[in-house]
Amino acid sequence: MEPKNSSTSSPQRSTAGLPDLFLFGTVCILLCIYLGIFVYLNMAKYTQHVDSDIAVDAMLAREIWVEKDLTPSSWIASTERLVIGVPALSSLFYGMSGSMVFSMGLACVLTGGLLLGAIAFTLRRCNISRLGILTALLALCALPVNGLRNEGQMVPFVMLLWFLFADYYALHSICLFLCVAFYLYLRENKIVGGRGRILRPALIWLLLLFLCGGLALGGMRCLQVVILPLTVWEALLLFFESHRMAQKPDRKRWISTGFILSLLAVGILAKLYPTNVDYPMYIQNAEGMTDRLTRQVPAAVLECLGIAGNCTLTSFSALMQLGILAVLALTVYGLVLIFRSKDVPGQVTADFSQKMLIQALGTSFLLTVVVEVVTNAETAHNYFFVVWFVIITTFAVLITLFEKNAPAFARLIVCCVCIFAVCNIFYTYRDCITTKDNLQEYEEVISYMDSRQIDHGYSEFWDASRICVMTDGRITMGHCYHMEDLRMYWWTTSTKWYVPSLPEKMPTAYVVRVEDKASFEAQFEDPDIVSLGFENERFAVYISDYNLVTMM
């Protein structure tokens, strides 16, 4: 199908019958309920559910505001040193509120809202109906199931990437959808005429370059999710649209190519910026590639979709996971229908922009698969999150295609998404919302440190940042590799929290897991240098007049 068809087509509208209006209203209500859940969890349950790996983002936001620097020189990054990220936005709210927890929760809420807006905008540009757009947004919020247990509480692991607490990939996803939308705009050859017609797209072009460049400065994620997939996708499009390079493409076609090449140039230049973290990757051997391709990567993708197993066929968990398999089957059917080789007269067909959007998202997903197969990068389920974008876009296109030609099938898809959304509230989110406080041991440690007026201490990484965030920054906890060998843990921490940035003689607490008490005490030649001040079922708190952890 030629690109010009997309410029002349208009978004399909839902039929105005009573069943359709009722279905439309149901989708809106459920979407609002899920958004309300995300807002509540971010604003009211942040300290309850985050672990230390997530909590450090709130601590980084405080450092950004205090140092007035997007990449504080005192901050030790992990695999990425963020330049544009949720902590940067959170730092602005921290400056106004003085609360790490509130500012991070609000930043996550706003970023998640921007992601939904970017998806809705892109789908609208691809001539998706209003019902299709809303159903796609609901599917993104409601279909991911299962989660991880953090201190006994369920946290939906896919939602962590976009909407909850940390927003690992929200900005990258926003960038991906907006870049595809602008690319499709350029393919429609709308940059014609006078200066006024050129100024607006030029400003959007620069804005997207700035966003891509800022994300690429932080690390490799933008290259892997946005820049390289779009480059590969455009190269393949040029190859096939030129009939395997037998014909010269139209001159206006090169404008969109120029946009993709500019993203690639910005991404390459960003790698020269010194904020990048050295995170070595190696090529797998043949045996490793085979194992990853046939076992590890498929398992990680299924885990990302929510297939966790470990349940009887008669259980609610089995019902939800079988529902995910049905979602996967419908997606495969939809992709075959959308990309069938020949258009059959009298049957529905997807238009140019809809196919292009799915192609771009699919390329991003497949490139991640290739990277995970070829390199030694960790095969984690969250790296394959783009598969969810392919699923919801396919659903949106199917609903749009069948609303007029087979409305019963379109309604069936929407109804299934709504039913699944209701079930997932009870399956995944009820525990998150109604959870009782399970942080009593942490709170007892904090209460003891407050009673002794100690505002600085050390613990292992997985406890330290959590204690700091639970006190909203009132107590600062440095990280140690192991408490039986007091050394600075060089990972998502600030050099200002260790000697010599801090004086050696100062009241300091050492929070040790109970099972490590003996090994912690054994490391000191002088046993009187620390004294046991408090102990509960989980932690033992030692106090000292000396700061014994130096920066290494």
Domain residue ranges in the chain:
4-434, 441-546
pTM across the whole model: 0.90
Among 415, 395, 392, 411, CA closest to 403: 411
Q: What is the pLDDT of residues 450-479, one digit of tens each?
A: 999 999 999 999 899 999 999 999 999 999
Across 38-42, 207-211, 341-345, 376-380, least confident range: 341-345
CB count in 10 Å sphere of residue 120: 18
Which residue's structure tokens are 């700061």?
547
Task: Using alpha carbons, list the distances in angstroms from residue 146 to 121, 171, 185, 317.
Answer: 29, 23, 37, 9
CA–CA distance, 114 with 389 (Å, rounded to integer): 15
User: What pLDDT, on a 0 to 100 scale, did the predictor assign at position 278?
Assistant: 58
State the pLDDT at residue 310.
77
Question: What's the pLDDT band for 344 if we cut at 50, 70, 90?
Answer: low
What span, in angstroms and rounded, lies between the C-alpha atoms of 530 and 372?
47
Torsion region of 48: left, alpha or beta (phi above 0 gives left; psi -120 to 50 gives alpha): alpha
For residue 2, pLDDT over 60 is answered with no
- pLDDT, one tens digit per residue, over 487-506 is 898 888 999 999 999 999 99
- Identify the helix (H) or strand (E) that includes residue 255: helix 253-270
DSSP of 164-225, one letter per residue? STT-SSHHHHHHHHHHHHHHHHHHTT---SSHHHHHHHHHHHHHHHHHHHHHHHH-SHHIII
DSSP one-letter code for 428 = I
Provide the CA 117 distance to its chain's centre, in angstroms.
15
Q: How confident is the model at residue 154 (pLDDT cuts 50, 70, 90)?
A: low
Indicate the Cα dihedral angle 12, 17, 18, 20, nearest 10°: -30
Tens digit of pLDDT for each residue in 354-399?
A: 999 999 999 999 999 999 999 888 888 888 999 999 999 999 999 9
C-alpha separations of 125 from 24, 172, 190, 234, 544 in Å: 20, 19, 13, 19, 63
Q: Give the mean model confidence (pLDDT) for residues 419-436.
A: 87
Cα dihedral angle (179, 182, 184, 190), rounded to 10 degrees?
-160
Helices (H) and strands (E) in the chain, counts: 22, 10
On the CB side of 303, how many CA atoms lie within 13 Å of its CA?
16
Task: Look at residues 453, 462, 389 and name the one whose alpha carbon lies nearest to residue 115.
Answer: 389
**Can you give the pLDDT at residue 311?**
80
Q: What is the DSSP letter of 516?
A: G
In which band, very low, low, confident or very high, does the pLDDT at 293 lie, cut at 50, 70 and 90?
A: very high
Q: Torsion angle, CA of 434/437/438/444, rounded to 10 degrees?
A: 170
Nearest to 158 by CA among 135, 142, 177: 142
3-state secondary structure of 391: helix
pLDDT band at 197 (very low <50, low <70, confident <90, very high): confident
Pairing of β 456-460 and β 531-535: unpaired
- pLDDT, average across residues 344-352: 67
pLDDT value of position 510: 96
Question: Which residue in the block uniquely carries the two structure tokens 């295609």?
Answer: 401
Q: What pLDDT, in 10s, does the model give residues 28-42?
A: 999 999 999 999 999
